[in-house]
Amino acid sequence: MITRRTQDIWIGQCEAAQEIKERYGPRAADYLVAEKLSDYASAAWGHPEFARELPGFVSEVRRIISASEIREHLARIEREQSDAAPANGDDYRGQT
């Protein structure tokens, strides 16, 4: 089985996000932060080869997506989670 280098994974994801952003606008590339970076960071917990590459991935995400775009994305996630919270008053994290 051929495995891709961990660096190749995030480089490919960033290249795709850059193309998406250029073609469709900044919000279209949100998946880079929302999904790909999050997944990569999770993988870094148990795999040293991912952990070594994580700072490079984060640096490239910051180059592609501005700080204000990242803040906007995080605010959108918070709004969506708030909207999805149960109506009975229970917090979605299991707290009351």
43-89 tens-digit pLDDT? 899 999 999 999 999 999 888 888 888 888 778 878 888 888 776 65
- Assess if residue 63 is contained within a domain: yes
- Assess if residue 38 is contained within a domain: yes
pLDDT of residue 91: 53
pTM metric for this prediction: 0.67
Residue 38: give the domain boundaries: 26-84
- Assess if residue 49 is contained within a domain: yes
- Assess if residue 30 is contained within a domain: yes
Q: Quote the CA–CA distance of 96 and 94 in Å, as a whole number.
A: 7
What is the number of structural domains in the chain?
Answer: 1
- Assess if residue 5 is contained within a domain: no
- Assess if residue 7 is contained within a domain: no
